[in-house]
Homo-oligomer: A and B are copies of this chain.
Amino acid sequence: MSGSLNIARGDRRRLVVVGGDAAGMSAATQARRLAPDLEIVVLEAGPYISYAACGISLLVDGSLSEPALLTALTPQSARASRNIDVRSGHRVQALDVRARTVAGVVTETGEGFELEYDRLVVATGARPVKPPLPGVDLPGVFTVRSLQDGVELRAELDARRPGRAVVAGAGFVGIDLAQALRARSLAVTLVKDSATPLLGLEPELSAVAEESLVRHGCLLLRDAPVYGIDAGPDSRVSGVRAGGEQLDADLVVLAVGVRPCADLADQAGLRLGPGGAIGVNHQGKTSESRVYAAGDCATQIHRVTGKPAYVTQALAANRQGRVAGANAALDLMGAAGQPLTRPAHPGTLGTAVLKVFDAEVGRTGLDLAAARDADFDAVVTVITARTQPGYYPVGGPMKVALIAERRTGRLLGAQVAGHPGAAKRIDTLATALHAGLDLATLADIDLGYAPAFSPVRDPILIAARSALKRI
């Protein structure tokens, strides 16, 4: 693991970041802002850095012509504009926290490299779960996580024109990709292993998403665990066995969740937390004092429970990266220029929004099950209202679910689902949740009203009033 690429530190202090996507590049960029003289090296295994992973379905459905449209930076532009030494195609394979080194291989040449660090930020992200099923490695079976994955799926669609797809998993990624495949005229079957509602939503809100999927030609199979993927005579995928069904398929997308890429950290002895992610505190510190972690490989503190949780989110990854990068840089700077308090991540609410064809869903905070798991005496209220007044030419029904603590009325979580205009209303609820508001206060807020945008009482206010009556 030594050789021509073995680089020892020189006079300058060196920050090494493993992983060049949202968290890693945010860490490097923030460190650079605070410490102009620091040597900053980012090691990225793949070809792309700093890309909008949530936009990959647009590459798949053909809305975007090329992957570069989803990348905010290239290794070249990061070097030129931010003075960050980004090395793509560098796969890190070992971390030695005593020697303070990372070691790995340059994927193109196979050459090894080793690099000393003064501070390390681990931002290795997450990888899609590949269940240990017969046939998961057949040609025509895809997982979609990295930009490269999206490029490959699109190439498959362009080259082979498959007609029937099975998407295993009906989470945010599965539903997003199902839409992209429908847009490319494939017959799509979404297969969900359990009979529970979609996306952690209350049943009535899940139904809004389900109806939209079905209305737009997706077959949705629930309570149908996949137990095998079959090959045809050409040794490519030909079908999926799920539940009691035998589904024909010339394309399969596995979207059954992600796992944190924490092996490197685990082998180095770093403490892991929920979901097997690298445990970090609000400042992004791991159990090793010179090692930070951020993004989808790391835990987050849930703002409602105050406890560690594993939540993968682009915005949180950016923020955690920024905090970790700042603290790593501050560690290496003199007493002058130190802030009064160290940068800290405020914790996550797990806010998420999703377009489901012409319906929209959103959620924030705890769902009912999570609230009860966290020992809250929680009660849920679901209302149906309209995005705009009934007399307005535009608009339609939407549902709001509020999860609140019975005794105090404290808001614990919220969900929205319905007509266009529904999803971003979750931001108002996330703000209320962040501020720790109770239902009575929420019901009192002066939200914007005009017939073009809302009934005189916004659905959120109707929900808050209704929930107040219940507790």
Contacts and interface: CB of A to CB of B under 8 A. Distances in A.
Interface of A: 22, 52, 54-55, 58, 63-64, 69-70, 303, 313-316, 318-319, 346, 348-355, 360, 362, 364, 389, 391-393, 421, 423-428, 430-432, 434-435, 437, 441, 444-454, 456-458, 460
Contact of A448 (B427, B451, B458): B427
Given A315-B449, A446-B434, A58 B424 contact: no
Nearest to A362: B448
15 contacts: A22-B456, A58-B392, A70-B391, A314-B449, A315-B449, A318-B456, A346-B441, A349-B445, A352-B449, A353-B452, A354-B452, A355-B453, A360-B452, A424-B448, A435-B441
List the 8 closest pairs (A to B, CB-CB), nearest first.
A435-B435, A353-B448, A346-B444, A355-B452, A349-B446, A431-B431, A427-B428, A351-B446
B315 A391 contact: no
A389 to B, nearest CB: 6
A58 to B, nearest CB: 7
A174 to B, nearest CB: 14
Nearest to A449: B315
A394 to B, nearest CB: 10
A96 B428 CA distance: 45
Given A427-B427, A434-B446, 4 more contacts: A315-B456, A346-B441, A424-B454, A427-B460
A68 to B, nearest CB: 10
Nearest to A68: B391
Contact of A52 (B364, B391, B425): B391
A431 B441 CA distance: 10
Contacts of A392: 55, 58, 63
A58 B435 CA distance: 37
Contact of A430 (B54, B446, B450): B446
Interface centre among A318, A389, A430, A450 (most CB of B within 10 A): A450
Contacts of A52: 389, 391, 451, 456
A417 to B, nearest CB: 13
A198 B369 CA distance: 48
A447 B315 contact: yes
A450 B313 CA distance: 10
Contacts of A64: 391
A331 to B, nearest CB: 22
B449 A353 contact: yes
Contact of A428 (B431, B441, B446, B452): B431
B423 A453 contact: yes
Contacts of A393: 58, 63
A350 B450 CA distance: 13
Interface centre among A58, A303, A447 (most CB of B within 10 A): A447
A426 B448 contact: yes
Nearest to A455: B52
A450 B315 contact: no
